[in-house]
Amino acid sequence: MELNNFKFNKKLGQNFIFDNNLLCAIAKDSGINKDDEVLEIGAGAGTLTNVLKDVCKKVVSYEIDNNLKDILTQKFKDTKNVEIIFKDALKTDLKEIENNFDGQFHIVANLPYYITTPLIFKFIQSKKVASITIMVQKEVANRMVANVSTSDYGILSVMLQFYGDVKICRIVKRQMFTPMPNVDSAVVNIVPKPNVCDAQIFSDIVHKSFAMRRKTILNNLSSGFDVDKVVISNWLTLCNIPVSARAENLSIEDFVKLTKTFDTISSYLSIK
């Protein structure tokens, strides 16, 4: 095909999908329809772009690699509802990306693993993002949807499930990619939801709680906030959380309770 002379760039995480059934399945997983506007990140050879354009109103696709310019420009030169922007989606200002769309938009992407998590957190707090459907490493997908008190449950699970409803749509075997990566993948769908408490404080508490996985929540919060254990102990009791618990035993609701009652200890912090 047109990719004859194209050299795959490993550093840019270039693992392309050519299987049409899989591409259609990913489009279906995203739940998009004719009225929807879509942001794609990492156009590659435009195979997913090509499927998306037939099921939605408009696709704006960011691609970092200028070596794909000729292939992509040629492929979509007569297609009115596709626009390819040759820029780094991670470094481009959120407002600038949002301005490509009239209203809310959906994100659909098969992109390098090392930028999926930062990208999700870049977009999930945007009021204009209706959903995110993204390919991630299978193990990462398992951590994203993990339940409390399991070994996969950690900062990623808590933060993501705080910001949205997350589900695994399908597992994608490594053989489906060209060139073939060393790991299997999964398509994950995330629908953002309104924050139920202050996101900054929530994030701070979660990160401090998981600082040392084997330590109790009491010890982690006490050293994280540099506040006496007695104070932390009162705070935990107020939230009905046993002082002997570890972060992995705290549900999202527990972390929300801690956030909502943060003033219990914030007065101690202000004295310092």
**Applying CB under 6 A, which residues contact ligand SAH?**
12-17, 41-42, 44-45, 47-48, 62-65, 88-90, 110-112, 115
Q: Decide whether 112 or 192 has the Cβ nearer to ligand SAH.
A: 112
Q: How far is the CB of 108 from ligand SAH (least distance, A)?
A: 9
In whole angstroms, the minimum distance from the beta carbon of 49 to ligand SAH comes to 7
- Closest listed residue to residue 109, CA positions, set 58, 49, 184: 49
DSSP β-bridge partners for residue 16 = 178
Instruction: Identify which of residues 88 and 102 has a Cβ nearer to ligand SAH in the complex.
Output: 88
**24, two tokens:** 């259609």
Q: How many CB atoms lie within 10 A of CB 86?
A: 15
CA-wise closest residue to 247 among 150, 178, 177, 154: 154
Q: How far is the CB of 66 from ligand SAH (least distance, A)?
A: 10
Minimum CB–partner distance for residue 167 and ligand SAH (Å): 20
Residue number with CB closer to ligand SAH (64 or 145): 64
Specify whether the CB–CB gap between 166 and 116 falls below 8 A.
Answer: no
**What SS3 class is residue 246?**
strand
Q: Distance between CA 61 and CA 49 in Å, rounded?
A: 7
Query: Within 10 A of 59 (CB to CB), how many other CB atoms are there?
Result: 30
Give the residue among 121, 193, 123, 202 at the shortest CA–CA distance from 164: 193
Contact call for residues 44 and 52 (beta carbons, < 8 A): no
CB 217 within 8 A of CB 236: yes
Considering beta carbons, is residue 118 or 242 the nearer one to ligand SAH? Answer: 118
Least CB distance to ligand SAH at residue 209 (A): 31
By C-beta, is 39 or 236 nearer to ligand SAH?
39
CB nearer ligand SAH, residue 89 or residue 256: 89
For ligand SAH, the closer of residues 69 and 213 by Cβ is: 69
CA-based Rg of the chain, rounded to a whole angstrom? 21
Q: Give the shortest CB-17-to-ligand SAH separation in angstroms.
A: 4
- Show the CA angle centred on residue 105, arms to residues 109 and 252, nearest 5°: 75
Q: With respect to ligand SAH, which residue has the nearer C-beta, 187 or 232?
A: 187
Q: Smallest distance, Å, CB 31 to ligand SAH?
A: 18
Angle between helical axes of 138-145 and 113-123 (0-180°, round to 10): 30
Provide, rounded to whole angstroms, the least separation between the CB of residue 267 and ligand SAH. 43
